[in-house]
Structure 1
Amino acid sequence: MSDLYIGLMSGTSLDGVDGVLVDFSSVQPRVLSHATQGFDDRFRAELLQLNTSGPDELHRAALAANELARVYALVVKRLLETTGTQPAQVRAVGAHGQTVRHRPQQFDGTGYTLQLNQPGLLAELCGMDVVADFRSRDVAAGGQGAPLVPPFHQALFGQLPGVTAVLNIGGISNLSLLNASGAGSLIGFDCGPGNALMDAWSQTHTRQAFDAEGRWAAAGTVHAGLLQSLLSEPFLALPAPKSTGRDLFNGPWLQAHLQSFAHVSAQDVQATLTELTAQACADSLLKQAPDCKRLIVCGGGALNTHLMSRLRALLPGCDVASSAVHGLPPLQVEATAFAWLARQCLERQTGSVQSVTGARGARILGAIYPA
């Protein structure tokens, strides 16, 4: 039976879709192809608006899910064409969907997490089995439903000696601590904002989708008062397990803090937002694993040169390096994780860990849509 899987990831950064074709036949997964497809401005704006209540949102969400499935299918087509792979050779596609609400354990004690997706349409378009809806089962079991990548980080990097930390900086940042409490142990949680606030501020004030390499922030000055205000967010002090999203770290949240700092320039706000991400991540690592000597960074944040330099400055005793140094480029890690989770589902193996999500136990994650 084939051990080829496709993983598709569209994260809270709302920049588009990353897709990978992965061969799991060896001990370490081997990415055969990587493809990306950005979201156009109209679709990105619609997804952002669907993060909050609005008119006719059920209708709009359903159509957005259809459009997302078509973008996913385009990425799948490119992956297959690049490698000359036939759909029948791929065992399944793992499609994460686009998170628009994440409120686990709230309201009725169970809460919910909502990822826009149309896996049935994706199965029709691609002619392959699709595995989707990875988070709901963990939430139903009393968990956070996030982050889901730490078990994959353990499978990928857990053989490294000593305590290893893996920091994924997408729209939101999350941290995995491997072997922090002994061989095979795993801790994971969301640290706080990643690129979401930085990207949104850059789009508003420079008309650029993101601050390339952090150059705009690097030329600014961190405003100490604003930084302390941002760092006072109660979520940052909560113990793990914990998860968050744009439900908390969004434009209105930032504007509420900026009311007292209207005099701060746009560039200095960008510098301060970058420092917020760096300090939230560094503080999380120092609190949970102060003796950690290795930090592997993945996600779009790993390409932010200024952010990486700030992490190195805040963690002087730690080797801070991109995941590319360890064999998997930073923009491929999360997509590969959801290919791995699809494989776990079809093999009837658990994909979550109680110590990460806080659920009543590990669960098999995902719903299967046969071709």
Structure 2
Amino acid sequence: MNKFTDGLYIGLISGTSADGIDAALVSFRQHQPELVCSHLEPFPADLRQRLTSLFTPGANQIDLLGQLDVELGQLFAQASLNLLSKSGVTKNEIAAIGSHGQTVRHRPTERHPFTLQIADPHYIAEITGIDVIADFRRRDMVLGGQGAPLAPAFHEAFLGHASENRVILNVGGIANITYLPAANVEGALAMDTGPANGLMDAWIQRRNGFTYDQNGAWASSGKVIHPLLENWLQDPYFKLSAPKSTGKEYFHLAWAEKAGNLTAYAPEDIQASFLELSATSIANAIAQLATPVDRVLACGGGVRNSALMARLQQLIPCRVQNTGDYGIPPDWVEAMAFAWFAKNHLQRIKLDLSAFTGAQNPVLMGSFFPAS
């Protein structure tokens, strides 16, 4: 057995919800990804507060970013060690760690486009004693891509179908879709559709002190404020064509407040309106695809928001399932993807991301950070 082609890899990511580190131990020994073990490393409340403050412009951010880069690197390393301890696997059995880090800025449409993820990979490699592949997005931008979304390459490899037009829907802080037409049908694409749980999380945090709306219960207790919803849906981002990408540095509460004073309404009605915005913008993006969709497979932490998922099923005319029905647990799709990207890097496999990010040439994703 070749350790680097058939072995075990770790994938690490903190997504747009910024609530902790998803760590996945993945086997590729059967040429299909198998989740061997998983671990969620929660962020301490103080760290999460400092981290989310980086998502919008503020004072002294370079110093804060530098400190958090180191702190997160150490925590990502600890997440890896905790995963190994839970699984009973030793570091010598791991081919590499693929670490996405935490995105704190994503500006694909600037004159000089850039994207920035933190969690210093030098610390991860040194503390774990395992080679690390990190910095996955910037080379894509050099080649004319938006640097996002990247997970669609993994979706295409393992969740596409020969006779079905499928959409893979990732529901995190931001929602993104991967359109995978049936074999011999052109038009695969991917894009961020806009907010998913991000605005709902931020609003319930501000008003009630909770980090998320469990099962969408608070949103379900309110009524949609349609004038606000219509104003939000006029944002130019929703009219852009794919490929397109965004983040919580764009869709945040200050953005929502441009449409009106949120405190003028019952807070639960604002929450209901945020849920409707997420569901409507996702459904609109799917409805605008070139051919009808046969099946939607959802993944990401948002699949646990039962109110959002129920509303999506009402708005989308085909069946909405989750990726767990097809062998890839919905909470761990992105972490598993970065394990796969690390494998591709070690094998020097360049991925064609043109349909998903707009990159002009195949990309060797990531940079190599060796263990001592």
TM-score by length of 2: 0.95
CA distance, structure 2, for counterparts of residue 215 and residue 22 of structure 1: 34
SS in 1 for 2:297: strand
Task: Trace 1:330-349 onto structure 2 (pairs within 5 A).
Answer: 330-349=330-349
Give distance in 2, aligned partners of 1:85 and 1:170.
29
Runs of 4+ in 1 over 6 A off after TM superposition: none
Choose the corresponding residue for 2:238, options 224, 236, 239. Answer: 236
Alignment correspondent of 1:263: 264
Structure 1 window deviating more from structure 2 (93-102 vs 262-271): it is: 262-271
Q: Any idea what the Cα deviations from partners look like across 1:112-163, whole Å, max 9, x if unmatched?
A: 0000120011100000000000000001111100000001001111135310
| Correspondence 1:370 to 2:370 | yes
Structure-2 residue corresponding to 1:54:
58
1:169 touches 1:302 (CA, 8 Å); kept in 2? yes
1:333 to partner: Cα distance: 0.5
**Deviation, structure 1 residue 21:** 0.3
Question: Over residues 186-235 of structure 1, what are the superposed CA-to-partner deviations in whole Å (9 max), with x where a residue is unaligned?
Answer: 21111011111110011111211100011111121111111111111110
Moved more, 172-181 or 330-339: 172-181
Tell me the equivalent position of 1:159: 161
Counterpart contact for 2:9–2:94, Cα < 8 Å: yes
1:216-295 alignment runs, 5 A limit:
216-259=218-261, 262-295=263-296
Aligned length: 367
Q: Identify the residue that residue 199 of structure 2 maps to in structure 1.
A: 197
Following superposition, the deviation at residue 53 of structure 1 comes to 3.1
Question: 1:23-102 to 2 correspondence within 5 Å?
Answer: 23-102=27-106
State whether residues 77 and 123 of structure 2, in contact with CA within 8 Å, keep that contact through their aligned partners in structure 1.
Answer: no
In the TM superposition, what is the alpha-carbon distance from 1:263 to its structure 2 partner? 2.9
> 3-state DSSP class of the match of 2:264?
coil
Q: Specify the alignment match of 1:121 in structure 2.
A: 123
SS of aligned partner of 1:295: strand
Tell me, in whole angstroms, the C-alpha distance in 2 between the residues paired with 1:38 and 1:84.
Answer: 21
Gaps of 5+ in 1: none
Partner of 1:354: 354
Tell me which moved more, 181-190 or 59-68. Answer: 181-190
Would you say the 8 A contact 1:352–1:365 is kept in 2? Answer: no
Distance in 2, matches of 1:71 and 1:9, equals 12
Assess if the C-alpha contact under 8 Å between 1:150 and 1:186 holds in 2: no
Deviation string for 1:291-333 (max 9, x for gaps)?
1020000001111100000010001x31101222222221111
| Contact 1:21–1:31, Cα closer than 8 Å, also in 2 | yes
**Which residue in the other structure is 2:184 paired with?**
182
Instruction: Please give the root-mean-square deviation of Cα atoms over the aligned residues, in Å.
Output: 1.5
CA 1:203/1:123 → structure 2, altered by over 3 Å: closer, same or farther? same
State percent identity of aligned pairs: 39
TM-score, L = length of structure 1: 0.95
In structure 1, C-alpha distance between the alignment counterparts of 2:231 and 2:171, rounded to whole Å: 22
* Partner Cα distance (1:185, 1:333) in 2: 23
Task: From 140, 145, 148, give the equivalent of 1:146.
Answer: 148
- The CA deviation string for residues 76-129 of structure 1, in whole angstroms up to 9 with x for no partner, is 112111221111110000000111110114123xx1000012001110000000
Q: 12-21 or 72-81: which moved more?
A: 72-81
When structure 1 is superposed on structure 2, of 48-57 and 239-248 the one drifting more is: 48-57
Alpha-carbon contact 1:345-1:351 (below 8 Å) kept: no
Instruction: Check the 8 A contact 1:5/1:92 in 2, yes or no.
Output: yes
Change (3 A) 1:181 1:187: farther
Residues 165 and 296, structure 1, Cα contact 8 Å, conserved in 2: yes
User: Which sections of structure 2, spanning at least 5 residues, go unmatched?
Assistant: none
Structure 1 CA distance, aligned partners of 2:348 and 2:297?
A: 29
SS at match of 1:9: strand
Distance 2:250 2:182 in 1: 28
The CA distance in 1 between the partners of 2:98 and 2:363, in whole Å, is 17
